[in-house]
């Protein structure tokens, strides 16, 4: 839902780059989970958080110095899945789509959705097939025909040839 961009000030506050559709979404949670450089997650209680331009500024319990905040630079911020609201019709959390089979209109399986790349305008689905061929498919109505989450399948208007 966000990423630690940099320390903010000298008392351990963090400047956060929001990564969700609603930039203020993280402000609604009292505990954030940060994925540290070793890949492990650690829970931090949010003492205070506020919007600051296109970023957030947050103070987390246990971070008392600029050096401690600097050590978290680049950490991803998440909240427990069960704390998130249920998505609406035709809405999905990106994480729920990882590993889904991607099939084009001709019925050719293009691979599995590995992750999403943020482009600024819209997300881009990164699909990789068994041979390691990578396809970057813009997440826009022109290319995404539909998602069947129960069947773990996404239909796209995208050529098999790269």
**154: helix, strand or coil:** strand
Q: Given this model, what pLDDT does residue 131 score? A: 94
pLDDT exceeds cutoff 70 at 98: yes
Cα separation, 86 vs 103, whole angstroms? 26
pLDDT score for 79:
87
Q: Give residue 150's pLDDT band: very low, low, confident or very high (50, 70, 90).
A: confident
Q: What is the mean pLDDT of residues 2-26?
A: 90
pLDDT at 162 over 70: no
The answer to whether the beta carbons of residues 62 and 23 sit under 8 Å apart is: no
Cα–Cα distance list, 73 to 2, 9, 67 (Å): 12, 14, 10
> Which residues face 50 on adjacent strands?
57
Closest CA to 73 of 20, 19, 2: 2
82 in helix, strand or coil? helix
Average pLDDT over residues 59-65: 94
Residue ranges of domains in the chain, CATH in brackets: 2-82 (2.40.30.60), 94-156 (2.30.30.240)
Cβ distance 3 to 77 under 8 Å?
yes
Which of the four pLDDT bands, split at 50, 70 and 90, describes residue 117? confident
Given pLDDT bands bounded at 50, 70 and 90, which one contains residue 132? very high
- CA torsion, ordered 91, 92, 93, 98, to nearest 10 deg: -160
What would the pLDDT profile of 16-32 be if each residue is shown by its tens digit? 999 877 788 899 999 99
- What's the pLDDT at 12? 93
Do 94 and 148 form a contact (C-beta atoms < 8 A)?
A: no
Neighbouring CB atoms inside 10 A of 129's CB total: 16
């Amino acid at each position: 839902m966000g990423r630690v961009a940099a320390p903010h000030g000298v008392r351990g506050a963090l400047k956060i780059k929001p990564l969700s559709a609603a930039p203020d979404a993280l402000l609604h949670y009292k505990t954030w989970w940060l994925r540290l450089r070793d890949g492990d997650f650690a829970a931090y209680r949010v003492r205070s958080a506020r919007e600051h331009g296109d970023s957030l500024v947050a103070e987390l319990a246990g971070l008392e110095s600029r050096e401690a905040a600097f050590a978290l630079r680049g950490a991803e911020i998440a909240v427990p899945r069960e704390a998130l609201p249920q998505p609406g019709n035709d809405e999905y959390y990106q994480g729920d789509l990882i590993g889904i089979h991607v099939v084009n209109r001709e019925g050719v399986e293009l691979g599995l959705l590995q992750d999403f790349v943020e482009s600024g305008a819209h997300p881009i689905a990164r699909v990789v097939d068994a041979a390691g061929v990578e396809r970057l498919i813009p997440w826009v109505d022109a290319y995404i025909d539909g998602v069947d989450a129960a069947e773990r399948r996404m239909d796209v208007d995208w050529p098999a040839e790269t």
